[in-house]
Structure 1
Amino acid sequence: MAENHEIYDVTIIGGGPIGLFTAFYCGMRELKTKVIEFLPRLGGKVSLFFPEKIIRDIGGIPGIAGKQLIEQLKEQAATFDPDIVLNQRVAGFERLSDGTIVLTGSKGEKHYTRTVILACGMGTLEVNEFDSEDATRYAGKNLHYGVEKLDAFKGKRVVISGGGDTAVDWANELEPIAASVTVVHRREEFGGMESSVTKMKRSAVRVLTPYRLEQLRGDEERIQSVTVCHTVSGQREDLEVDELIINHGFKIDLGPMKEWGLEIEEGRVKADRHMRTNLPGVFVAGDAAFYESKLRLIAGGFTEGPTAVNSAKAYVDPKAENMAMYSTHHKKLVHK
């Protein structure tokens, strides 16, 4: 029975930015909290793929590197000492007769909780690698699927394949320090923020559209040049390269959670305005959530997390206040 195990008020699945801030707010509501993260470290895809990316769309922060944001969120989350479980994927979901939820890890680990908040993004992440045997040979050498340290590209001829928000941001960040930056994108339109795309096109970045990356050439150790192909005319061009960055998106999968009975739409978990899912005691926040007028920004998730926590608090204690006291008045935070 559940009473023979430690039971948490809230278990957050996902230790990215939204999961970390949600854990902090759980402490504000005096909820016993556990965070379970699939990766071996906290930070989610920001820590994994974008540690050097400058994030500029969080209120009150003109600009902050991804890794710095994660460090500050980790410090903030630690304020109320949540339990952290790393390198574990949650697979099973069961509800006991007393209402306790049992989450089972992929290796059989058991976690007992009164409520669950899904802050897992759209599930586990895997980069879309370039489909070539050569890509496997050069990965980790001068073929990159992320930018961990900007200084590693200083004075280098950089080619970026991709046209999403991240590819555009990398181009803008690298342009001032690289010898040259060329962006290759298979469509005329870019998926980045309008202002970022405009900045890139007005800079010294060379933009090749609509082109696709076709072939890598080099020795056993490093890529020396790449061939790109115009998607309409078939015209080819060889580009000399010191560093190649590929940003062709991610494979994202909710995995076993799709079997829990959650209502899914467009690959995300449907939520109401209280961040409640169709399963009692299960809430959602961040990229995992789907609802009308969804704001797909970290700033939006920072609102959804506390909303989910307030709903979880009401589920655990129907007589509780609707929200926590302001942080300026919280006894533990005032003391700090």
Structure 2
Amino acid sequence: MKEASELYDVTIIGGGPAGLYAAFYSGMRDMRTKLIEAKEELGGRTLIYPEKMIWDVGGVPPIRCEQLTRQMIRQACTFDPTIVLGQQINKLERLEDGTMIVTAETGERHHTRTLILAVGYGVLKLAKLEIQGAERYEAANLYYTVTEVEGFRGKRLLISGGGDSAVDWANELEPVAGQVTVVHRRDRFGGHEKSVSRMKESSVDVRTPYAVTQLHGSGGRIEAVSIERVNPEGHLSGEAERLEIDAVIVNHGLRGDRGPISGWGLDMGEWNINADEKLATNLPGVFVAGDTANYPSKLHLIAGTFTDAALAVNSAKLYMEPDAPKTAYVSSHNSRFNEKNEALSVSEEEAHR
């Protein structure tokens, strides 16, 4: 068994928006910080939608997801946390002194006073279209992610799904594609109300409640799809309608697998880990943030994720030091930024010379 690493104040598991902001904010609290990400790159769920426009981060104008990801990573590195990539954490053990060791599937052991789980829904995989033989079109014109909007210019496009991503891509691609058709098996969409209204008021052909039941193609390319109406009981009507299309985008959500974390004894719901208003779980010294956190006032926005991260870090700090200030001093009055502010001032002066 490998020796445990040096002791950290907080170890953050997960390198998505919640984990990245927790790494930044823990630096504001002068905590020795380690961030561990299972993949070989940081960004979490934002890596899936690099071209998607993000509108709802406070004080940030509309920004592409890939750019926001870069900025979050840069911010996370402000106070030089230790970052570990490519390690999926499997095991948690508590020592007699109350500290914890988490062990990766590689055998690496990480020693920490507190733990913040920012694992989202676990290891994420895109939900595939459940039609036999669909995979043979993935190399041509069946898409689960969009990396280049221009590739759909002038095309007849069908989007299958009814969540945020399906609605957002319908709005994003409507001015570019020749025709956008959205097929959703429910009448009600899961996207934000404003986005849904925008889609319905545009030229997008909205087909509800319908489901894609068959793909028609040759030479590895889809040429048409069959859709069928879904009755109130959730069953297909059996009456198919054929639509000629040039490309299909499937947005059926993500399927997550938390793996061994599910066996740690955490109080878990169907999708999330239950926590109190301070983001504390039922395990002492273990906190949650982001999509993985479930509490009554949970806000499912990136802005809410940032708040989760700060609350979890504050709780971790107070767990170690009950007499510490309840929150970090704001950045405009935080001594941790003094040298950095001076460096920025010098850079600005030099730029204007």
Shorter-chain TM range is: over 0.9
1:254 Cα deviation from its structure 2 partner: 2.3
1:308 alignment partner in structure 2: 312
Deviations 1:85-123 (A, max 9, x none): 222211100011122211111232211111110111122
2:267 alignment partner in structure 1: 263
Alignment of 1:131-170 (within 5 A): 131-170=130-169
Amino acid in the other structure paired with 2:55: R
- Tell me the secondary structure at the aligned position of residue 328 of structure 1: helix
Gaps of 5+ in 1: none
1:34 alignment partner in structure 2: 34
Amino acid in the other structure paired with 1:246: V
Supply the distance in 1 between the matched residues of 2:56 and 2:247 (Cα, whole angstroms).
29
Whether contact under 8 Å (2:3, 2:109) holds in the other structure is no
Supply the distance in 2 between the matched residues of 1:332 and 1:121 (Cα, whole angstroms).
34
Whether contact under 8 Å (1:2, 1:112) holds in the other structure is no
Whether contact under 8 Å (2:9, 2:114) holds in the other structure is yes
TM-score in terms of structure 1 length: 0.95
Confirm whether residue 16 of structure 1 aligns to residue 20 of structure 2. Answer: no
Whether contact under 8 Å (1:130, 1:246) holds in the other structure is yes
Supply the distance in 2 between the matched residues of 1:332 and 1:279 (Cα, whole angstroms).
38
1:278 alignment partner in structure 2: 282
Amino acid in the other structure paired with 1:128: A
1:331 alignment partner in structure 2: 338
Whether contact under 8 Å (1:328, 1:334) holds in the other structure is no
Supply the distance in 2 between the matched residues of 1:85 and 1:4 (Cα, whole angstroms).
14
1:2 Cα deviation from its structure 2 partner: 11
1:308 Cα deviation from its structure 2 partner: 0.8
Amino acid in the other structure paired with 1:216: L
2:5 alignment partner in structure 1: 5
Supply the distance in 2 between the matched residues of 1:226 and 1:4 (Cα, whole angstroms).
55
TM-score in terms of structure 2 length: 0.90
1:4 Cα deviation from its structure 2 partner: 6.5
Supply the distance in 1 between the matched residues of 2:269 and 2:119 (Cα, whole angstroms).
16
Among the aligned pairs, what percent are the same residue?
53
- Tell me the secondary structure at the aligned position of residue 278 of structure 1: coil
1:267 Cα deviation from its structure 2 partner: 2.5
Q: 2:299 aligns with which of 270, 277, 295?
A: 295
1:121 alignment partner in structure 2: 120
Whether contact under 8 Å (1:2, 1:100) holds in the other structure is no
How large is the Cα RMSD of the aligned pairs? Answer: 1.8
Alignment of 1:110-259 (within 5 A): 110-232=109-231, 233-259=237-263
Amino acid in the other structure paired with 2:253: G
Whether contact under 8 Å (1:160, 1:182) holds in the other structure is yes
Deviations 1:171-229 (A, max 9, x none): 00000111111101111111111111111011011111111101112123321111111
Structure 1 segments of 4 or more deviating over 6 A? 1-4
1:296 Cα deviation from its structure 2 partner: 1.2
